[in-house]
Chains A and B, each alone.
Chain A
Amino acid sequence: MLDTSLLSLVTLLPAAGALVLAVLPARPAALHRWLALALSLVVFILSLAVWFRFDPDLPSFQLQEQLSWIPQYGISYHIGVDGISLLLVLLTTLLIPVVILASWSSIDAHVKGFHISLLLLTTGMIGAFVALDLFLFYVFWELMLIPMYFIIGVWGGPRRIYAAVKFVLFTMVGSLLMLVAILYLAWYHQLSTGAWSYDYLALAATAPRIALAGLWSPQALLFLAFGLAFAIKVPMFPFHTWLPDAHVEAPTGGSIILAGVLLKLGTYGFLRFNRTLFPAAWDFFVPLIVVLAVIGILYGALVAMVQPDIKKLVAYSSVSHLGYVMLGLAAGTVASTQGAILQMVNHGLSTGALFLLVGVVYERRHTRMIADYGGIAGIVPAYTGLFLLVTLSSIGLPGLNGFVGEFLILAGSWKVFPVAVVFAGLGIIVGAVYMLWMFQRVFWNPLVHDENRTLTDVNLRELLALAPLVVLIVWIGVHPTTFLSPMEAAVRSLLG
């Protein structure tokens, strides 16, 4: 079982756990917390087994499993990992226990429902990363939507309904077009080979043959149908406005998942599907992607600078950071692509940690407004130190993770798009401005609000939730080859 179905186990165990929670009584709430935590740790350990079993020298998909599902239409349960999805699966399985710990005391209503949603979401996310059948991918893709809708809409802030609906509508608009495109691909496959197929590897052979002649030709439209779904998810400018609302209203755990994993599905989708299935259209649209990426980098950073709400600031900073990822993917050199993939992980760690940290003070003071803080460095020194470290990681201080990703993206893109790199480089300056200005106004300056004098420092549970993120932030900064080498073969083969 463990030999042949390891990847399925990692993917489906969370959903199975959700079913178990569903039949258990709602009280005591602690039961659900502990069960979900234990399960998520098991899933994480299993995913480590995937990591150790993975052969980094092979560019192909490994640990593949294939079961026939709807054979008439060539639909199968086909999953597998390569060096690219491997890292993102591990990021997901790592973040789930972190999220459960982060939500331990902040989620106190409908605890059972929260953990069921979270576990279903987990299966959706891992499934989307490992799916090698486009129909299956779409199922997992949509599976993510519903639990996230509930997480924002039930456990969110005052405007949670607006934010949840906005999140769903934005995502649906993109994904419906993607569904049409997937159907077209299967139909085209049938047309050219005589058999229906939704299999990624099969479609990767036929889809590139679809004609491309200008914007209104089939391949370009298919590219756009996939691209829109992913661009909204990333989110790329100008499809980003759902993100700040969703983040501000989502509970801490929801924000960590959203920033840590869900956004990566957008960038991952571009690399896995748009680039591989529609290579000609990719070349056609790369200039547009580069322009939007650079706009996103600068625009996200600029808007982040003037946000009064810390969470909104971090949300806009995500727009900026993911702009770098898109730039790296668009440049398409080995270094820039590896940098982009690493930066997906980095962003998940750093931004996840930032949301977690914001949640820590929010739980104590019930405000995320920068102006409600100030001068708390002396009150909560450990918290300040951790926040500083994550801030530095986010602004790309060498020795921490963010630098390696940004460095490879920009260095790798330099030969292809030097002008874009210069503009993107300006984002590094603005990045320091908004993060350090926020840091100054929250932790430094005179302590003016007396309520903050009684703030308590991070407790053991919060420390445990942060610890793996902090360790990896330093690890990737000092020894990134641990994570770069397993993906190199896959990236080289993907880039062709």
Chain B
Amino acid sequence: MLGNLWLIPILCLAGAAANLALGMLRANKRLVSIVGVGSVGLATVTTFIALSEYLGQARDVIRETYFTWIAAGEFVVDASFQLDQLSAIMISFVTFVGFLIHVYSIGYMHGETDRGYARYFAYLNLFMFSMLVLVLGSNLPVLFIGWEGVGLCSYLLIGYYYEQEYCATAGKKAFIVNRIGDFGFLLAIFAAFAAFGTSEFLGLREAVAVDPGGVRAAATVIGLLLFVGAIGKSAQLPLYVWLPDAMAGPTPVSALIHAATMVTAGVYMVARTNFFYQASPAAMLTVAVVGGLTAVFAATIGLAQNDIKKVLAYSTVSQLGYMFLGAGVGAFIAAIFHVVTHAFFKACLFLGSGSVIHACGGEQDMRKMGGLRKHMPITYWTFVVATLAIAGIPLFAGFVSKDEILAKVFAAGAVDLNHFGSLYTLLWVLAVAGAFMTAFYMFRAVYMTFHGEFRGGHEAEHHLHESPPSMTLPLIILGALSVVGGILIGFPGQLFHRPELNRIEHFLHPVMAPLAAAHGEVANAGQAAHGVSLPTEWVLVITSVLVAVAGWMVARNFYVGDQAFAPARRLAERFPFVHKLLLNKYWVDELYDAVVVRPFFGLARFSWKVVDVVIIDTVFVNGSAFAVELTGDFLRFLQTGNVRNYALSVALGILVLAVVLW
């Protein structure tokens, strides 16, 4: 397969095209499922064949150029893909998790019309194509093709139920907010071209590595602009507002696009261009600060949400924040590690919530659920293990990756990374607080949904049922990965004097390697981690475990047993303002509406009604026409047709002329 990497995304594109055609022909769902799931299945198989070939040979980077995409002046952009350790990891979990979610969709979407079903799978296939282009692209513009492509599919799938206005609006909002990020991304591409004359990742890395100190200014500008793009796509402060609304899309879409893959594209991009951040302490610190603040901010909102998908959405924003926090201390590998484990457990949680919503007839409010574990044991148990994973209970997938990030952030503070040590320490404290909240809101969701008695009424209770195998099978696989996925690919061997067990650390090292060791100043927390002793590392592990368990126990105390909900209510009554603040998500949407959206539309109306209609058209255009008319009217008096008047004029003229000449 090496040499023909294009086959992997093209298979998905072919699936999308075929399903579009099938939709037009109103083909039945069976055929659409075969095409939709089959194409991604083939792409997955192809991916793993390519990976085995890749691992069986010696080269680090396989770069394939297919044709020259754009060539004008000094701008030459190849249509080319690049398989290295980073893209290898990305394509493997993207195709695998994507395939599972395609399978799950067969069951989840079975109630749609034939046409809607085909449209759904066409978009989902197109998404897979775009996502694969995104991670395989060997330069910034090709990455950008995938970047915009996934955004388009996200837009189309959020707006899948387009006749509901809130879905249509949410889709549009997602696209537009992302465009703000894309604006930064595009400028970054221009700046990279201008500074280094290339947009190829390999070329850029080389150019930066030659003299990281010398290109610091350019690296800072490019790094920050790229990060603006990442903030949009990966829903960080202050552009996270589209992601909670994006839950209007079908739940498998939330799992695939808005949890497991697309939203992590920003993290991928930062990891892919890690050399810019390594060369720029300021850009790196920005990444860490934005990530850390978002992680905590979103977690606080998650505490008070009652819509199960909203809890998961804010949780995703928060977890993405952790990934950026990791990247922001130079722990790019830990960030990518968390991308992968997060894909497992968050996809599992979303698909689990979809299973719940499916059973509850579309209900998403956890206050109207409860006691579901009796009715849907598979969904329950998979949801629980995924919750254990995200909460950071030892050995589950999320624990290993999140702990690595926390440890590296602490280390960055301890070794005073880039002289920002105290800031990094502060971020570590915030991140630990966030971990507590994560454990709390996730177990809160578990208890509200699955424990206690069903609160949705008798009618609804009759319909409760476990989902079909097409839905539970992906749940079981993802649940299993939520348990063992972390230790399999990234066992924290360093804690046991066996660092070689941390496979992902070794595997990704060539892509994320520190620039030049000669430049001592250059930030790299991969080395910073060695700045803390082994006992300290163990203390950190124990701390985060205690924090997670504490969050879990508080949730249990609040939402289980005879007194369920009472402590939470009392707390809300004692701090009504805080409760309202969290419940209403800090009124950020309302704030943006008042400060950005409304003035913007006001300016637009002013431009149209005042500048265009009154000033330009009335004053200048019609004004000059009126002036011509007036002049004409005035001149008309001179043309009386009366010969004596003309004679008088001539006489006066001669007189004036004579006087002047004299």
Contact = CB atoms under 8 A, between A and B. Distances in A.
A339 interface: yes
Interface stretch (B143-151, B552-560, B587-595): B143-151
Given A378-B163, A436-B175, A392 B608 contact: no
A286 interface: no
Contacts of B141: 398, 407
B601 A428 contact: no
Contacts of A429: 176, 179-180, 183
A299 B607 contact: yes
Contacts of B149: 397-399
Given A241-B616, A437-B172, A480-B70, A411 B193 contact: yes
A398 B145 contact: yes
B162 A443 contact: yes
A238 interface: yes
B74 interface: yes
Nearest to A336: B73
Contacts of A338: 72-73
Given A410-B190, A484-B70, A303 B608 contact: yes
A408 interface: yes
Nearest to A479: B67
A481 B67 CA distance: 10
A302 B604 contact: yes
B75 A481 contact: no
B70 A404 contact: yes
B388 to A, nearest CB: 40
Interface in B576-635: 601, 603-605, 607-608, 611-612, 616-617, 620-621, 625
Q: Which of B167, B187, B608 has the most chain A CB atoms closer than 10 A to its own CB? A: B608
Interface stretch (A177-185, A418-426, A464-472): A418-426
B70 A481 contact: yes
Contact of A306 (B68, B180, B604, B625): B604
A94 interface: no
B168 interface: yes
Contacts of A333: 73
B176 A302 contact: no
B168 A440 contact: yes
Contact of A414 (B169, B175, B183, B190): B190
Contacts, number: 142
Interface string B134-171: 00000001001100110010010001001111011101
A421 B190 contact: yes
A334 interface: yes
Nearest to A305: B604
A51 interface: no
A398 B141 CA distance: 9
A204 interface: no
A377 B607 CA distance: 31
B24 interface: yes
A387 interface: no
Interface in A34-87: none
A329 to B, nearest CB: 14
Most buried by B among A169, A414, A426: A414
Interface in B96-147: 115, 141, 144-145
A445 interface: yes
Contacts of B608: 302-303, 306-307
Given A381-B115, A415-B194, A432-B175, A407 B148 contact: no
B466 interface: no
B193 A302 contact: no
Contacts of A437: 172
B72 A445 contact: no
Nearest to B181: A429
A403 B621 CA distance: 35
Contacts of A407: 70, 141, 186
B189 interface: yes
B403 interface: no
Interface residues of A, number: 58
Given A302-B603, A306-B605, A481 B162 contact: no
A378 B23 CA distance: 12
A238 B612 CA distance: 9
Contacts of A415: 194
Given A241-B621, A408-B75, A429-B180, A422 B165 contact: no
Q: Which of B70, B182, B603 has the most CB of A within 10 A?
A: B70
B75 A411 contact: yes
Contact of A398 (B144, B155, B611): B144
B71 interface: yes
B64 to A, nearest CB: 17
A192 to B, nearest CB: 34
A478 B75 CA distance: 16
Contact of B69 (A238, A425, A480): A480
Contact of B179 (A169, A381, A410, A432): A432
Given A302-B607, A440-B168, A484-B70, A414 B191 contact: yes
B179 A335 contact: no
A339 B72 contact: yes
A222 to B, nearest CB: 23
Interface centre among B73, B115, B149, B620 (most CB of A within 10 A): B73
Counting chain B CB atoms within 10 Å of each CB, the highest count among A166, A378, A428, A432 belongs to A432
Nearest to B620: A238
Contact of B183 (A166, A299, A408, A425): A425
A57 to B, nearest CB: 14
* From A377, A382, A398, A443, residue with most partner B Cβ within 10 Å: A398
B222 to A, nearest CB: 12
A425 B167 CA distance: 28
A407 B186 CA distance: 8
A412 interface: yes
B168 A445 contact: yes
A445 B162 contact: yes
A433 interface: yes
A44 B180 CA distance: 41
Contacts of B73: 333-336, 338, 408, 412
A385 B155 CA distance: 14
B165 A445 contact: yes
Nearest to A333: B73
Contacts of A432: 175-176, 179
A411 B190 contact: yes
Contacts of A403: 148
Nearest to B189: A411
A446 interface: yes
B172 A436 contact: yes
Contacts of A334: 72-74
A381 B115 CA distance: 10
A444 interface: yes
B70 A408 contact: yes
A412 B175 contact: no
A425 B186 contact: yes
A303 B163 contact: no
Nearest to B618: A241
Given A381-B24, A392-B152, A447-B163, A238 B191 contact: no
Given A306-B601, A335-B72, A445-B163, A397 B175 contact: no
Given A238-B616, A398-B148, A446-B165, A422 B187 contact: yes
8 contacts: A169-B625, A238-B616, A302-B603, A307-B608, A407-B186, A408-B72, A428-B186, A445-B163
Interface of A: 166, 169, 238, 241, 299, 302-303, 305-307, 333-336, 338-339, 375, 377-378, 381-382, 385, 392, 397-399, 403-404, 407-408, 410-412, 414-415, 421-422, 425-426, 428-429, 432-433, 436-437, 440, 443-447, 478-481, 484-485, 488
Interface of B: 20, 23-24, 67-75, 115, 141, 144-145, 148-149, 152, 155, 159, 162-165, 167-169, 171-172, 175-176, 179-180, 182-183, 186-187, 189-191, 193-194, 601, 603-605, 607-608, 611-612, 616-617, 620-621, 625
Rank and list the top 10 A-B pairs by shortest CB-CB distance, nearest first.
A334-B73, A335-B73, A444-B168, A444-B162, A414-B190, A338-B72, A302-B604, A398-B145, A335-B72, A306-B604
